[in-house]
Structures are given as structure tokens and as C-alpha cells.
Amino acid sequence: MTGSADGPNGPSGRSRGGKVRVKTAKRRTTSSNRWLERQLNDPYVAAARAAGYRSRAAFKLRELDAQFDLLGNVDRVVDLGAAPGGWCQIVKARRPRASVVGIDLLEIDALPGVTLFQKDILDDDAEALITEALGGPADLVMSDMAANTVGHRATDYLRTMGLIEAGLDMATRLLRPGGTFVAKVLAGGGDGALTALLRQHFTQVKHVKPPASRKDSSEWYVVAQGFKPAAPEVVAPG
């Protein structure tokens, strides 16, 4: 016998194998139906809801932390593209006394112990606000940013990579020596150039796809550890 349930956006049915199938709705497009069906059948979505996390992406950071011990000894953390706040939740759960600053264009509901800014990271005052809120150099700068898609693969890739490079540029000014930068990247033709750039600033650079990252997604994560600040320029006497 086939049971039925109401999904978050309307009625759905459950097949004999337990998979939820979304019924057609006049106001939903085919792509919207596919997205909803995927959400309803995603174990990470269900697990995030059960754990009280704001997004399934929280598990990506948990898995990266388990592999690289990103949060084991951090006191100051910056989350670029923090909405809806899942990564900040993981940091505070692991390091309750850490100073955590999140920034995003979207509004983020308040999180205890986290300083949040609704702002573009490219705004002139963004870096100063983050620096003041941190109270010192960051141990870890995280970025789960991705540009809004326009449906053209090459354009979407370039827009997102531009954000990643902007995040890296900010990280090089926020991080303490030996600090870590973690960012979502997209598989594409510019990976080699980004890796070369990262290796100029960090002693170790690795690419990883955590289990919580959907297999059909082009996203990967870069983990760059051992930040090397640029040597100050020496001005020859005139």
C-alpha cells in the first residue's frame, strides 16, 4: 500500500521503495518539482532538520573538520557567504568561546555568540567591520559563497570563481600566519590558476569533495593551510 505525505510545498506521494515522489502542481515548473523531490529524499536534509541545523551544508563543514581538524584550535573565525548560518552553528558547537563573524548579502537570523553583517564582501567598509568584530587576526576564513546563476554554465562558473578570488584576497589580509582558508570551488577550466595562486600564500593546498556534497554537483572544496603572509617591501634608502 502506498502511503502519502504533505511535503513543504505541497502534496507528495511515497513509493513502495520509500522514495518520495512529488505530484505535479500547476504553479511549479518541472525543474522545481525535481528540486523538491531531491530535497524530500535527501538524507542530509532530514538529518539537518533533526539536528536543528539551518542547512544541510552544515554537514559539509563537519566532514571537512573531521578530515582536517579545521576547528580544533581556533579562536577567531570568519564565514564569508554565511547565510543561512549552518557553518556558524558548527563552529560555535565545536568552539563555544570562539569569536565568529559571518557576512552575507542575505539577512541571517541571529545566532547566539555570532556577529552577523548583511553586506557585500566587496563593500568598502566590509573588511574593517569584520576586523573590528574579530578583535584580532583570524585563525580560519571560510567561504561557501556562490554567485547567483544565470543559466549559462561558463558565465556562472566565472562569476563564482570571481567571488572565490575576492574571498581569498580578503583572507590574505585577515588571517594570522599559519591560518587556514576553506572555500567552495567549482570544477572547471580555471582550477589550475586558482591552485597556483593558493600555493603562493599557503604551504598546503588540497581539494576534497565531502560526502555531504551531492554527487551530481560540480562543487568541490579547497582547504589551504599554513598561511604565509607576504614579506613587507623593503624600501631602499634614497
Residues identified as active-site = 184
Q: Residue 102: which H helix or E strand, with range?
A: strand 99-104
C-alpha cell at 107: 539577512
- Cα 180 from Cα 73, distance rounded (Å): 11
**106, 83 contact by CB (below 8 A):** yes
- Cα 238 from Cα 120, distance rounded (Å): 41
- CA-closest candidate to residue 172, choices 181, 184, 163: 181
Q: How many CB atoms lie within 10 A of CB 151?
A: 6
**210, 174 contact by CB (below 8 A):** no
Q: Residue 131: which H helix or E strand, with range?
A: helix 126-134
